Chains A and B, each alone.
Chain A
Amino acid sequence: MAENFQHPFQGIQFVKRKNGASKDVLVASAGANLYSYAVESGQRLSVWPQDGADIATVNDTGSKLEHEGPPEKKRKVDSSENATKTAPAKKAAIWSHIPILASTPDGEYVVALTGEDKCIRVFQIEEDGSFQQLSARPMPKRPCSITFMDENDILIGDKFGDVYSMPLIPSATPRAVPRAPGQIKPRQPAATNLTVHTQRNLKSLEMQQQQLADKVNKAKDEDKPTFEHQLLLGHVSLLTDVAFVSLPSPDPSSARKRGYILSADRDEHIRVSRGPPQAHVIENYCLGHSSFISKLCVPQWAPEYLISGGGDPHLLVWNWVASQILQKVPLVAPTPEPKDVAVRGIWASSLSLDNSHPIHLVLVALEGNPTLQSFTLGPDGALTPHNTIKTTSNILDVQIRPEINTVLISVDCIREPGSTEDWQSAPASSSTLLEAYCLKQGNGTLEWEPVTDALINSVNAAGTSNVASDAEQKAKTALNNSLYGLENLRKAFREEDAGSVL
C-alpha cells in the first residue's frame, strides 16, 4: 500500500436530498470511478462501476446505446474497446478518468462525463447511496461543460463550439429517426464540372461519381444520435464553460423569468444569448479578456453579476446584461517576470456567521496551485480580497457547505504542490485527499481554520484506487494531462506564422 499513490478526487459534489428521509451524500470522482460517502460519518457507501459483474451490465447498456449514438470519430482504439466490452470478465478500461461531475439543483440526479468515450451518464443516488445509472449518451464531440436549465434539462458545451440541450431523462421512445422522411439518399458530389476546372480536380470528381454509382445498391443508414438533443448555438472555437441564468423580466406585467445562456470560449469571447427557444438571438458579447476564458461564475444570490477567469492574471467582474466590466481583480502579485496562470475554478456561496448579515463568499483556485483565494462580493459588484487558504497540495475541486460555514477542498496527493508535472518522490504514508477549512470572523477580515471531522478522516483513510508510484513517464504524462489541461488552451504561435507580416 505504501508504494502506491491514491487517485486524487478530480471532482467532488454534495448531493442534498430534499425528501427528508435520505441523508446527504458526497459524490466524488477519482480515476475511472465514482464514489459516494455519507456526509455525517464519511463512510463509503458505494463505488461505481462496481467490480465484476456490474461492469458488464453497465457496459452492455452502454454499448447498446453507443451503437445507436452518433458516428464516433474513427480512432485506433475502437477495435480494442469493442473487445473489452464483449469480454465482461475483465475490469473495463474504456475511460480512465471522469472529468466532469455535476448534480441537478434538486439533488435528485448526478451527471458525470466519462473521459475517453465522451458519454454523458445520468445517475440516481439510491437510498443506500449506490449509483443507479439511468442513461449513457455518447456525444459526437468531447463535452467541456455540463450545466442545467429550468426543468433539469442538461446544457452541454463541447469542444467544437456547439451548445446542446437534452432532457435529463431521455424519453422512452427514441426520436423519430431521420427528420427527412424516407430513405437517406446517397450523397451526390456537390462539385460539378462547372465548379471544378483543373485536370486533377476533374479526375477526382469523375472518380467520386463512379464511387457513387457503385454505392447505390448498398445504401447504408448513417448513424446519428437517436436520443433527443437540440443544437442551440455555436461558436467557431473551443467552448470552455457554459452557464444558464434566469433573471426576472424587466417588464413588471410579466411574471415569467427570462433565461439566458452565457457561453465562454478559448478565443476570449463570452456570448450572452437568450435561453431556448430563442437561443439564436444574441443579446451581447462580454469582451475584455486577453487570453482564453476557463470559468464563468454567476452567484446565485446576485445573478446580475458574472465573474470570469481564465488565462489572464486577473478576474473580471461584469454586469453581463450590459456587457460592462465592473472590476478587474488581480490574482497574482505583479512581478517582473510574470508567470502564466490559469483559473481552475471559481466558486460562490452565501454564508452567515452568528446571524449577522450574510457573507457573499467567492473562492478562486489557480491551476496547479495550493492556494485558495477568498473574496467577498459587495452589493455593488466589488470583489474584496481576504485571507487565503493554504492547502498541502494543488487544489482540484472545491465544495462549500454553507450550513456549517466550511469549505471542502480536494487536493492532489500525487504531484508536488505548485507543479502540474512533478510527482512527489514517495507516497505519503496516509494520503490526504480532502481537506476542510472553517470560516471564522477575524478582525475585519475573514479567517480560515483547518478542521478535521469524521468525513475528512474516514474518506482519507479509505482512499481511492492505487496509482503505481513507479509508473512509466508516458503513463504519468497521461495522468497529468487528465487532471491539468488548461495550459493547452493557451495560444502558441508557430514560428513561420510569426515571421510573416503583421
Chain B
Amino acid sequence: MGAAAKRQKREEFRKKIAAATAETARDGSACPVGSVLNLPQKKYYRQRAHANPFSDHMLSYPLSPAHMDWATHFPVYVNPDPTQTNASGARKLLKEVEVVDIGCGFGGLLVGLAPVLPDTLMVGMEIRIQVAEYLTNRIHALRHQQHNLLLHKTPSSTPATPEPLREQTPPAAPSTPDSPSETSFPTSVIPGGYNNITALRANTMKFFPNFFARHQLSKIFICFPDPHFKARKHKARIVSETLNAEYAYALRPGGLLYTITDVEEYHYWILRHFGYQGPQDGEGGEGNEDQAGHGGVEGLFERLTQEELDGDECVRVMMDSTEEGKKVTRNKGNKYVAVFRRREDPAWPL
C-alpha cells in the first residue's frame, strides 16, 4: 500500500471514530441501536516515537491551573452546582486531579491504574498529538462500554462506581464488541468505570505549571521515558535536576514520583539527578558531563526502599501494564524502578 493510500485510510478511520465519539457524547450515553463504539486501533495512530520538546508545536494549554477546564475531561465528577466555576468560566469538579502520567503514550498505565485508584482523578499527558488522540478515544470507548455493562446489570450492584450525574437513559442495544480491537474489552464492571482517567496533549517540560498548582498532586509517573541516548540530546530528557524542581513544586509533601526505565544508564541518571549517586565505577557513569549534584534538589526527595516498593500496587501496574513494559518483558529486557517521596520544603535560612 502506498504511503498516500495509507494516510487516507488513517484519516478516514479517525474521522469515523471522531464522529462516533461526538455522537455518543451528544446524546448522553445512549448508544444508537446497532452501532457500537469500538476501541480505536493503534495502527491508525502511529507517530514517530520522538517529539522535540523545545519546539513550539501548536499546543493548547490553560493560562494557569485556575483556568483549566477539567469538566469536559471528567463529566461524572462535575460539581452539580452550576455556579461553581473557575477563572475561565468552566464548571468546577468535586475533587482535584491528583495523579499525572507524564508521557503516557497509548495509556497502558492509566487504564491499568483506573481500577486500582477508582476514586482518584488521573490524567495522562502526551506530546505526540496522534497518540494523545488515540488515548482519548480509547478512554471514551472504555467508558462507554462500562456504561453499557452497568445498564445491563443492576446499577446498584456496583457501589464503588460513582453514580453518573446525567439522567439515566433507557437500556441501549446489547453491545457485542465485534471489532478487531487489539485490547479486548473487559467483560466485567471495573470500579470507577474509567470515569476517573483522561488524556490530553501537552508538553509537560514547558507547561506543567500551567496545569497544576502548587502541591496539587499526590503521584507523578514517568514510565519508560524517551532515553535520548546522544549526549547532546540529554537536555531533552524528562528527568533533570531543573525539571525535578518543577515536579517538586506540583507534588504535595509525602507525594510520590515513580520512575521506570529499561535503560540502565538512564536509571543512574535519574538517581543522580535526584541526588543519589550511582555506582562510582558504574557502567553508566559519565564523569561530570551533566550538572547533577549542584542545585540541591536532592533535599526535596528521598528514595523509597525496596520493601516499600514491594508493597505498592502502583509499582506492579507500572511494571506490567504499560505498553513499553510489556514490550521489554517480551524482549527479556531489564526494568529499573526508582520511586521518590517528596519531602517538606526546607526552612528558610535564618
Q: Which residues of A contact B (CB under 8 A)?
A: 160-162, 178-180, 184-185, 187-192, 194-195, 197, 222, 224, 230-237, 249, 251, 254, 256, 258, 267-269, 271, 273-274, 277-282, 284-285, 287-288, 290, 491-494, 497-498, 500-502
Contact = CB atoms under 8 A, between A and B. Distances in A.
Interface in B230-264: 231, 235, 240-246, 248-249, 262-264
Interface residues of A, dominant DSSP: loop
Given A190-B227, A493-B58, A236 B289 contact: no
Given A187-B231, A194-B331, A256-B350, A233 B295 contact: yes
B349 A256 contact: yes
Which A-B residue pairs are the 6 nearest by beta carbons?
A234-B242, A190-B265, A287-B64, A282-B249, A236-B205, A194-B333
A428 B230 CA distance: 54
A279 B241 CA distance: 11
Contacts of B286: 185, 187-188
A235 B243 CA distance: 8
Nearest to A289: B63
Interface stretch (B34-42, B49-57, B89-97): B49-57
A234 B236 CA distance: 12
Interface stretch (B22-30, B186-194, B207-215): B207-215
Contacts of B243: 234, 236
Contact of A190 (B54, B266, B333, B349): B266
A281 B345 contact: yes
Chain B interface size range: 35 or more
B166 interface: no
Contacts of B284: 188, 190
Contacts of B349: 256, 277-278
A195 B201 CA distance: 26
A267 B240 CA distance: 19
A500 B128 CA distance: 12
Contact of A197 (B209, B214, B331): B331
Contacts of A501: 129, 133
Contacts of A502: 58, 60, 129, 201
Contacts of B117: none
Contacts of A273: 245
A287 B294 contact: no
A65 to B, nearest CB: 20
Interface in B292-311: 293-297, 299-300
Given A179-B293, A277-B296, A493-B58, A254 B245 contact: no
A253 B33 CA distance: 73
Nearest to A498: B58
B295 A231 contact: yes
B205 A288 contact: no
